Every structure is written in C-alpha cells, then in structure tokens.
Amino acid sequence: MNFLSILYGLFLLSVLGVYWSLGQQRLRLWTLLVASLVFYASLQLQYIPLLLALIFINFRLGLEIGENKSSGEHFQDSQNSNEEWQFAHADWNRRRLKVLWLGVILNVLLLLGFKYLQPLLKFVFQNDAINSATESFKLIAPLGISFFTFECIAYLIDVYRGAPAAKEFLEFAAYKFFFAKLISGPITRYHNLVTQLNHLPLPTPDIVAEGLWLIARGAVKKGILADDLGIFVDLCFGNLQRAGSVDLWLATFAYGLQLYLDFNGYVDIARGSGMLFGLVLPENFYFPYFSTSIADFWRRWHMTLGDWLRNYIYFPLGGSRQGLDRTCLNLMIVMLIAGVWHGAALGFLVWGALHGLALVVHRLTHSLGDRFTALAKFWHNPLGIVLAWLLTQLMVFTSWIWFRLPNVQDSSYVIGHLWGHDADVQFAQKVYVEALNISPYQMAMLLGALAIVMAVFYAFDRTIKLRFSWHVKLVFVPLCLYFVWLLAPEGSLPYIYFDF
C-alpha cells in the first residue's frame, strides 16, 4: 500500500471513521494496531510475527528496567540498615544496567543481522557458491527495521534514565506499529506519543485542514517533483560512462533535491495522517539547504535522527564536555555510525566520514573564532554568510554522490569526471531529447527555479511568518491532489528511505 495511491486514501478514511466513532481509548488503540497490521501486511506480511515478538521483548525489558527500588521502601522496612539498603539499591541499579545493555545489544544485533550479514559473508569468504547462497539474505530485511530498532533503543534508554515504562502492551504495540511512521519515521519517542494517545480531543476544523494540507503538500513533493527529478537522476547515474561533467553536476544537484523532496514528502504525509488521528509527529526537516554550517545542516536535516544521535551516542560519549580533541573524536564517531546505519556499502561509510570531517572543521573554525574576533565577525557579515552557505552546500551536495552511488568504484568515477569530461553524443540524444525533451541548459534552469521557489518559501517562513488560514488550505488540498494525479509520472518511484 503506497502513500500515493487511491487505496491508501480509502484505507485512511475507513480507519478514521472507525477510530473517531469509538469513545473508549482502548478501542481506539485496538483500531490503530489492527489498521497498522493491515497496512504492514500489504507490504510484508511474513514479518509481522517477528516484529510483534520484538515489540513484546522490548516491552518486557522496559518493565524490568523500570522496576526500581525507591527510598520509601527502606524507611518502611526498619529491619534494614541504611548501609544495607544502599548496597541493595546499587546492586539493583547494576541489574537494570545489565538489562539495558541486553536490550541495546539485542536490537543492534537485529539491525546488523538484517542489513549487514550478507555483505559481511561475501567479504569474508569471497566464494562464488557461498555468495550465491547468501543472495537469499536480501529477503530478510523488514521494511522500517532501522527506524524500528532506533525507537526501541531510545525507549529502553529513556526508561533507564527515569522515564516511566509502558504498563500496557496494547499501548506500546500501537505506538510501535503506528502505520504513519512505521516504515520511514520520523523517529518518535514513546513518551511523546503515548501522552497524546491518553489525551485525544476531537480534531477541530483547523487541525483537520492542516492534516489534509500536509498530505496534499507531501504528495506534490513526492509525486511530481521528486519522481520527475528521479527519472533524470537515474538516467545519468545509470549511464556513468556516457555522461559528461555537466550532466554529472546536474545529476548531483538533482539528486540532492530529489532526496530532500522524496523524504520530506513522505514525512509530510505521515505527519498529516497522524494529525487526523489527533497525534502530532515530530518535524523532520526545516529548510536544510539554507543552512550556513554543517552543524546547522544537521539541526535541520532528518532532525529526529540528529536528535537520536546526539542524545543516545554523542552525549554518552562525553559530547563537548571533555575538551576540543575529544569533541572532534566524538563527532567523527557519531557520523561514522550514521553512515553505517544507512547501509553496509563502503560509500555510506565515506559519506559519514565526510560529514564527520566537516563537523570537525566547523568545530575547529568555531574555536578559532573564539580566539580571533575578526574571524568571528567575518562569518557574521553578509559576505561571510554567503561564503559559509556556498561551502556548506557544496560539501553536502557532493557528499550525496557516495550516498546515491555507495559502490566506491562508481562514486569515485563520478568525482574523477566532474571536470573536463564531455558527454557521449548518444547519451545526450537518449536523455535530453528522447526521455526528457529538454536541453541541459533548460534542466539547469529548472533546478535553479526550484531552488528559488524553496528560497521564497523559506523567506516567507523566516520573515513574515506567512500562514494560510484553514479555509485556504482546504481549497488547495483537492487542487494539489488533482495535479499529482494529472502530472505525476507513471509508475511512481519507491520512497528512497524505504531502503534504510
């Protein structure tokens, strides 16, 4: 069941009708869970028992971690001395830590097994027979497994840090399986969502309009913009030997926009769907291509992943509290983990290393700015801001090459042919004349126009805080959906982040 389909629209309307016709919270939770199971079954029915088992295991581990002795128990038991109670309390906390590590390791091994076992076997054995046999491992990767495990790890750590554990399995399962966020996020913390589930007011007209507007806006981003860009990107990166330097640069910038619009479009539809159920899912993007530093980029791009990396890896490693050298090392470790999380190919590791290096350079530059006021002032004047933006986006877009082509032979070929390489005549005929019916110059103009439109929306959001009324949004919703139906290319491309 694809978000951009009439079937999903009918499914969403049917579930909403049942959901809001029920008065009891428990029945609404059952509705959400059953609907989510149906949604996932339409994609990968065979993995539902596995995911349910993993949800139950994490639920039980959370209960074990959450059960902690309070100081009140000691004062009520006069037979225990204060010293004996302190020893018992310390022993109990050690047990909680062991249970936490058990849960974290279980989830990490699950993720590693599904995503990295096959390439690891290929690398270790280098045997054709074994490599042929391991091809079957491609079938055992449940959709959304990365987001699933990250949410479980976050939940267990939050409970260990003092947040209350889930008491009802139905509530926890409904949170974990909620179909809007299940496949590609946004990564949502349990305690944020369950608080909303326990206080569900009837949606007001403006909330309904906002939810529908998010769905329609996301459909335009994905169905029209991202998929059309994806056709050009696939043609260029699928014919590397024939593409010229101009084509590779255009494809690089087109892919950066495609990835953003594809993922952001998915999140808009997910957030809009959640809003119709009275649930506000976290935002995942805030105009990342207008950031003026790589640190700012990661505060705007895939925000829930960035928040997860900061809270559950960067801060436990020491963050920036242990000196500049340790801070730079922690940043590099975090981004290498982010690269590995996206896939087992070496290109993802290179991508993570490049972002880690960029964050280190930014931190060092910031440190120099604290010592030299003239340098700090330069980065805050108009020329410095423009230069910082250009350097940041050049780094971000060129690093996407390793993301789109994780095979380092392909990505290295692109990097080596970004300058002074002419395109094959047949390539230009096939791509620009037969497939797209535009010239490279016109393609560059279209990419520039799209960037200008994004800049205008960003300016409106930052300066005059332009917001449409709910009446206007309801007018735009059917228009957006009609244009998607009319203009979207046949056979929509799969969401890019389904692979992660």
Return the active site residues.
Answer: 342
Largest CA distance in the chain: 90
Contact criterion met (CB below 8 Å) for 124 and 479:
no
CA distance 363 to 351: 18
Side-chain half-sphere of 118: how many Cα atoms within 13 Å? 16
Q: What token pair was written down for 27?
A: 């029945």
Residue with tokens 């590397």: 240
Residue 348 — φ and ψ, nearest 5°?
A: -65, -35
Length of the chain: 500
Q: Which amino acid appears at position 310 of this protein?
A: R
What is the Cα–Cα distance from 328 to 320, expressed in whole angstroms?
A: 8
**Burial (Cβ within 10 Å: 0-12, 13-18, ≥19) of residue 78:** exposed
Cα separations in angstroms, 315 against 53, 206, 310, 312, 318: 30, 38, 6, 7, 5
Residue 76: count other Cβ atoms within 10 Å of its Cβ: 9
Q: Give residue for tokens 């060092």.
A: 364
Question: Do 495 and 1 form a contact (C-beta atoms < 8 A)?
Answer: no
CA 196, chain centre distance (Å): 22
Which helix (H) or strand (E) element contains residue 40? helix 25-44
What are the residues whose beta carbons fall under 8 Å from the beta carbon of 72, sequence distance 6 or more?
Answer: none
Coil, helix or strand for 90? Answer: helix
Q: How is residue 77 annotated by DSSP?
A: -
Region for 144 from its dihedrals, namely left if φ exceeds 0, alpha if ψ lies in -120 to 50, beta otherwise: left
List Cα–Cα distances, 168 to 26, 172, 191, 452, in angstroms.
Answer: 10, 6, 13, 49
Q: Mutual orientation of helices 145-160 and 48-66 as an angle, nearest 10°?
A: 10
End-to-end distance of the chain based on CA atoms, in angstroms? Answer: 18
Instruction: Looking at 238-323, list the stretches that DSSP marks H as alpha helix, in order from N- to C-terminal side.
Output: 245-276, 294-300, 303-309
Quick check: bond before 186 cis, omega within 30? yes
